[in-house]
Amino acid sequence: MKYGIYYFSGTGNTERVVKLLAEELKKYGSAELYKINDGREIYPVCDKAIFAYPVHGFNVPANVLRFAENFPSYAEKGFYIVKTSGEPLRLNDASSEKLVKILRKKGYVYKGEYHYVMPYNMIFRHTDEMASKMWATAKERIPACAEAIAEGKNVVKKIPFRAKLASAVCKIERKGLRFNGRFYKVDKDKCVNCLQCVRNCPVRNISFDGKDFRFGKECIGCTCCAFNCPTDAIKSGILNFMKVNGKYDFDRDPSEAEVGRYCRNSYIRYFGEKG
């Protein structure tokens, strides 16, 4: 059995999850990781497919949908979804519907999804202790996920109406992010011309002519550029007030994490703790 994990990861959270999942799946066969960038990549179809992505506004990122549209048709082959988000709200439950619809039309059989909470790369910055707690929780649960995928278990769940409504309303975010992306700017007083933003943009939306940086019309809001900028030189347009910059330290003591007031009950339920 060969497992193919087709994933997109803007700032590394989803990649962290699927790398561990791949290691666990190797207990049951071979596992390959195939990274999605602009969604025009062509990869082989494996015996069992897992599609992974970070939730963007209760939906699938546009480049992942493009990848699915280009994915080869294959009748009766099962697939799973793995997704990450910064909060464990049930409003995220409908995020995969469009992706599932595309793949079903191509003949694939949807077997369900797994949702892991990882720290925000936009909205606000979680503490490193909280990030470590999220990662520790994912590490505890991924082995069972791999076993269920290997056994072909059906883990499809009923999606609440409020989640479908949130997903439908927030689809406008895709156009909004492309619009906002054109207002990204680089603070030349901070910039050291490392060009990491240009090289690492998954949709190749950033260019540099030797003097000025230019941001095009294809931004998907993954925040790879602003989050990973070593000098915090990138301003994220009109959403700059929600910008998060700098990698999290996942080696902190997760027992020291404190669940704050924001989505408190949802986090407590996710972690399996008592309120």
Cβ-based neighbours of 265, under 8 Å, separated by 6 or more = 275
Which amino acid is located at 4 in the chain? G
Rounded CA gap, 99 and 66, in Å?
A: 9
Q: What is the mean pLDDT of residues 33-45?
A: 96
Q: Output the CA torsion sign for 126, 131, 132, 133.
A: positive
DSSP character for 75?
T
Q: If you search the block for the tokens 């909470």, which residue do you land on?
A: 117
pTM: 0.95
Rounded CA gap, 6 and 226, in Å?
A: 24
Cβ-based neighbours of 60, under 8 Å, separated by 6 or more = 53, 95, 96, 98, 99
Q: What are phi and psi of 28, to 5 degrees?
A: -115, 0
Q: What is the mean pLDDT of residues 128-139?
A: 98
The β-bridge partners of 143 are none
Per-residue pLDDT tens digits for 160-211: 999 999 999 999 888 899 999 999 999 999 999 999 999 999 999 999 999 9
Cα dihedral 125, 131, 133, 137 in deg (nearest 10)? 120
Residue 75: pLDDT above 90? no
Which amino acid is located at 118 in the chain? M
273 pLDDT band, cuts 50/70/90, is low
What local confidence, expressed as pLDDT, does residue 275 receive? 38
What local confidence, expressed as pLDDT, does residue 174 receive? 84
